[in-house]
Amino acid sequence: MNKQALINTAQALVADDKGLLAMDESIPTCNKRLAKLGISQNEDARRVWRELIVSTSGLGEYISGAILHDETVHQRKKDGTPIIKALTDVGIIPGIKADGGAHDMAGHSGEKITEGLDGLRARLDEYVQLGVRFAKWRAVIALSEGIPSRACIKANAHALARYAALCQEAGLVPIVEPEVLMEGDHTLAQCFEVTEEVLHVVFNQLYTQGVMLEGVILKPNMVLPGLDCSIQETPDEVADATVTCLLRTVPAAVPGIAFLSGGQSGELASIRLNAMNQRFKSRLPWALTFSFARAIQQPAMGIWSGQDARVKAAQQALLQRARCNRAARRGEYSAAMEVASS
Ligand code: 13P
């Protein structure tokens, strides 16, 4: 394992106030989003959408790394340029979704375990040959009556740590993503409690498996009330809770924490990330940045709606969300940035 190369990659992913763009939706999820807009759902439609993203001029000013799906790492732009090359040409580091998806967990109704460890070593080696430099593995933790169970948290944390160790052996920086879901009517306090426990168990497992924390990026949820909870805290309250939870659980050796958006609107995700950096940035041991999928892509996809004539407008919308999130990373985002662009 080349420790310094891993550290360099991890640091590059959080350098210059940039963040990550997740564009690794599974085929069914990507198809669902295309179908909502009346776009046909096939390999070429997914390629066209993802070509639109990677061809957005100026994206590399705000985005350090892009997480791709296995289908995309093998695809080319219409002009024949491999998608991976299109990214590296503009200084964006290519990454890969390495997990095999969240599946029903035996004996634990309503809970999921992420699969994909079998054969992972060989798959990671293939990705390295293609020029990929980091990977992502998402575990999902649902919150409801009697859930999550100890078994679900522990099994997912164990899988995350084994994946992370395999990544580092292959020379890839692991993005470790334990997502406590927003769905439900749970309170912010309940999300805090579960997120705190999950992160403790994840870092314990990373330690047990000998994962080098300087070469890891954590991708957690923000600490939020459930979508159906009647009390929705202010951005400052969310920032307080999230930063308190992370300070209690994430070792200072980790170079960066890049949040998932989890179904928040693009604006709300920027507002909350901004509140964290504005209030706490100078006191934090790690960078606090973004690794959003929906909160960056959704407005752009809606504008595009599969129409060639709207590609430029969609790319402007994508760039706008990327720009707002870099400002949020600096604690310099304001609502005026939204008005200026509309
Ligand atoms: P969202 O930002 O849409 O939650 O997606 C992030 C992600 O990569 C989930 O694995």
Ligand 1 centre from 162 Cα, in Å? 21
Ligand 1 centre from 262 Cα, in Å? 6
Asked whether the beta carbons of 318 and 294 are under 8 A apart, the reply is: no
| CA separation for the pair 290, 22 (Å, rounded) | 9
**pLDDT in the model for residue 339:** 76
Token pair, residue 158, equals 């164990």
Q: What is the mean pLDDT of the chain?
A: 97
Looking at ligand 1, which residue's alpha carbon is closest to its atom 4? 262
* Ligand 1, atom nearest to 297 Cα: 3
* Ligand 1, atom nearest to 292 Cα: 2
**pLDDT in the model for residue 340:** 64
Asked whether the beta carbons of 108 and 149 are under 8 A apart, the reply is: yes
Asked whether the beta carbons of 219 and 182 are under 8 A apart, the reply is: no
Ligand 1 centre from 183 Cα, in Å? 14
Task: Report, as an integer, the average pLDDT of 148-155.
Answer: 98
Percent of the chain with pLDDT over 90: 99
Q: Of 25, 51, 111, 177, which one is the catalytic site residue?
A: 177
Task: Assess whether pLDDT exceeds 70 at residue 136.
Answer: yes
**pLDDT in the model for residue 1:** 74
Task: Assess whether pLDDT exceeds 70 at residue 36.
Answer: yes
Looking at ligand 1, which residue's alpha carbon is closest to its atom 9? 260
The secondary element (H helix, E strand) that includes residue 17 is: none
Tens digit of pLDDT for each residue in 257-304?
999 999 999 999 999 999 999 999 999 999 999 999 999 999 999 999
Tens digit of pLDDT for each residue in 195-253?
999 999 999 999 999 999 999 999 999 999 999 999 999 999 999 999 999 999 999 99
Residue found by looking up tokens 């950096």 in the block: 277
**pLDDT in the model for residue 228:** 97
Tens digit of pLDDT for each residue in 295-338?
999 999 999 999 999 999 999 999 999 999 999 999 999 999 99
- Beta carbons within 8 Å of 336's beta carbon, 6+ residues apart: none
- In this structure, the residues whose C-beta lies within 6 A of any atom of ligand 1 are 22, 138, 177, 260-262, 292-295
**pLDDT in the model for residue 291:** 98
- Beta carbons within 8 Å of 322's beta carbon, 6+ residues apart: 19, 21, 59, 62, 63, 296
Task: State how far the alpha carbon of 194 is from the alpha carbons of 113, 134, 146, 288, in Å.
Answer: 16, 27, 12, 20
Confirm whether 136 is a catalytic residue: no
Task: Report, as an integer, the average pLDDT of 38-52.
Answer: 96
**pLDDT in the model for residue 317:** 97
Task: Assess whether pLDDT exceeds 80 at residue 80.
Answer: yes
Task: State how far the alpha carbon of 145 is from the alpha carbons of 46, 186, 223, in Å.
Answer: 37, 9, 18
| CA separation for the pair 96, 70 (Å, rounded) | 7
**pLDDT in the model for residue 341:** 61
Ligand 1 centre from 211 Cα, in Å? 23
Lowest mean pLDDT among 70-74, 85-89, 133-137, 337-341: 337-341
Confirm whether 177 is a catalytic residue: yes
Looking at ligand 1, which residue's alpha carbon is closest to its atom 8? 22
| Long-range pairs, 197-204, Cβ under 8 A, ≥24 | 197/153, 198/141, 198/148, 198/153, 198/157, 199/245, 199/246, 199/249, 199/250, 200/249, 201/153, 201/154, 201/157, 202/157, 202/160, 202/161, 202/176, 202/178, 203/249, 203/250, 203/251, 204/157
Task: Report, as an integer, the average pLDDT of 169-177.
Answer: 98
The residue among 303, 307, 266 whose CA lies nearest residue 21 is: 266
Asked whether the beta carbons of 180 and 198 are under 8 A apart, the reply is: yes
Task: Report, as an integer, the average pLDDT of 118-138.
Answer: 98
* Ligand 1, atom nearest to 138 Cα: 10
